[in-house]
């Protein structure tokens, strides 16, 4: 299995008050013809399947769509606050400083294939570490969202942007060389899973660049083509 295709579940419910969702989905399909779209659910969720570059482009398209809505929300918020302006005038300077600090703390987001993220985390942890930023991750099935935020008031946005570029570039390199093979258990149950976990631990020193991910019914083996082949052959023996 090659890392060429992933499935992501998107929620477009946030656009409901501003667009006809069915029309928005049709626009998404025209914007991203390389992606396969599932049916739009009543709660505004839709499954999308395709390559990571195509999913990134769709994400950027939706962010552009969402930006005017965010600005409109901010304007509405300010209009509601106008009657209280005289009461809050003496707090203007701290509020301006806080807004500047919030701008510096802007969060960068990178969407990765979960297996690539786990491989990066296991064998190249420094890629997910950088000065003046805090990096966290949320995994949802095949997709892991990496969030990069400022670690301090004086850091600014530059360290986060650098960390984001480094993670994106390295994930692309890993995507070119990594392969995954799934080995299904012959029997189901905790005993079988535990046995495979023990086998993987015993084989780990012989295959230091291969990541074995045991699950309840199978093991995913991630590494180079040669590494995955050698590991699986050893495991079968």
In a domain, 163, yes or no: yes
Local mean pLDDT, 10-residue blocks, the chain (237 residues)? 68 86 92 88 86 81 79 52 37 38 60 89 91 86 83 70 89 89 78 84 93 87 94 89
SS (H, E, C) 19-88: CCHHHHHHHHHHHCCCCEECCCCCCCEEEEEECHHHHHHHHHHHHHHHHHHHHHHHHHHHHHHHHHHHHH
Give the per-residue pLDDT at 121. Answer: 94
User: Domain range spanning residue 60?
Assistant: 6-67
Within-domain flag for 100: no
On whether residue 48 sits in a domain, the answer given is yes
Q: How much is the pLDDT for 123? A: 94
**Residue 55's pLDDT is what?**
82
The 10 Å CB-count burial string (b at 16+, else e) for 162-182 is: bbbebbbebbeebbeebbbbe
pTM: predicted TM-score of the whole model, two decimal places = 0.61
The reply to whether 12 and 51 lie within a common domain is yes
In a shared domain, residues 130 and 185: no
Same domain, 213 and 228: yes
Number of domains forming the structure of the chain: 3
């Amino acid at each position: 299995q090659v890392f060429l295709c992933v499935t992501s579940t998107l929620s477009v419910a946030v656009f409901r008050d501003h667009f006809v969702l069915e029309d928005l989905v049709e626009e998404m399909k025209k914007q991203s013809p390389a992606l396969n779209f599932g049916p739009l659910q009543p709660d505004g969720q839709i499954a999308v399947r395709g390559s990571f570059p195509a999913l990134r482009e769709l994400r950027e398209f939706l962010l552009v769509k969402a930006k005017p809505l965010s600005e409109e929300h901010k304007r509405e918020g300010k209009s509601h606050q106008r009657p209280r302006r005289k009461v809050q005038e003496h707090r203007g300077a701290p509020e301006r400083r806080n807004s500047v600090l919030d701008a510096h703390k802007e969060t960068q987001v990178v969407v990765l294939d979960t297996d690539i993220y786990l491989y990066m985390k296991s064998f190249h942890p420094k890629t997910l570490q950088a000065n003046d930023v805090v990096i966290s991750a949320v995994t949802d099935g095949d997709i892991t969202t990496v969030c990069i935020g400022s670690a301090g008031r004086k850091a600014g946005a530059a360290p986060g942007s650098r960390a984001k570029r480094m993670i994106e570039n390295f994930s692309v390199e890993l995507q070119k060389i990594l392969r995954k093979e799934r080995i299904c258990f012959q029997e189901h149950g905790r005993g079988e899973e535990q046995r495979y976990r023990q086998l993987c631990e015993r084989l780990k020193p012989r295959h230091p660049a291969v990541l074995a991910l045991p699950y309840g019914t199978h093991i995913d083996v991630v590494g180079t083509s040669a590494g995955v082949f050698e590991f699986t052959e050893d495991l079968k023996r």
